[in-house]
């Protein structure tokens, strides 16, 4: 069983490798795209590394996957979509998301802390199957 400390250290190591950042850049509230310079291809690379390391299916890209959500005519998340995000990512601040429900706000969900919480949820879940290649 992975401890939280081991999970956080391993995630940080993977982020340093994928994003070529310094460990001190990985504050919990650091945003993957805006603060750390990540790109969508980096999310996939991080996913592959995590699946290899933990032997579980890890889908970080689902944290910002707008194609699985419903929007109104102004490209704002519907309340049903916000609830869906809350079910998938119970550690997300839904009040913040409700204040700014634009599709463009989804990438801010990818913070170091949220990545950790998602990974923790996956690794500690007995329902998670092995990673697929």
**CA-wise closest residue to 114 among 76, 60, 77, 71:** 60
Range of the domain at 112: 4-123
Q: In the structure, what pLDDT confidence band is assigned to residue 1 with cuts at 50, 70 and 90?
A: confident
Please give the structure tokens belonging to residue 111: 């913070």
The 10 Å Cβ neighbour count of residue 80 is: 10
Cα four-point dihedral sign 83, 85, 87, 89: negative
Note whether residue 73 is domain-resident: yes
Q: Which domain CATH number covers 95?
A: 1.10.1200.10
Note whether residue 41 is domain-resident: yes
Does position 133 have pLDDT exceeding 90, yes or no?
no
Look-up of token digits 């990985």: 26
The 10 Å Cβ neighbour count of residue 110 is: 23
Q: What global pTM score does this model have?
A: 0.87
- Total domains in the chain come to 1
Note whether residue 130 is domain-resident: no
Note whether residue 133 is domain-resident: no
Look-up of token digits 């869906």: 84
């Amino acid at each position: 069983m992975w401890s939280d400390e081991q999970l956080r250290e391993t995630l940080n190591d993977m982020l340093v490798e994928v994003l070529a950042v310094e460990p001190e850049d990985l504050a919990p509230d650091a945003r993957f795209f805006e603060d750390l310079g990540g790109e969508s291809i980096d999310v996939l690379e991080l996913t592959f590394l995590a699946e290899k390391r933990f032997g579980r299916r890890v889908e970080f890209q689902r944290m910002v996957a707008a194609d699985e959500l419903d929007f109104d005519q102004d490209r704002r998340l519907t309340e049903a979509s916000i609830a869906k995000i809350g079910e998938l990512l119970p550690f997300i601040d839904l009040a913040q998301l409700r204040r700014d429900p634009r599709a463009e706000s989804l990438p801010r969900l990818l913070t170091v802390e949220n990545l950790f919480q998602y990974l923790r949820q996956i690794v500690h879940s007995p329902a998670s199957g092995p990673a697929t290649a």
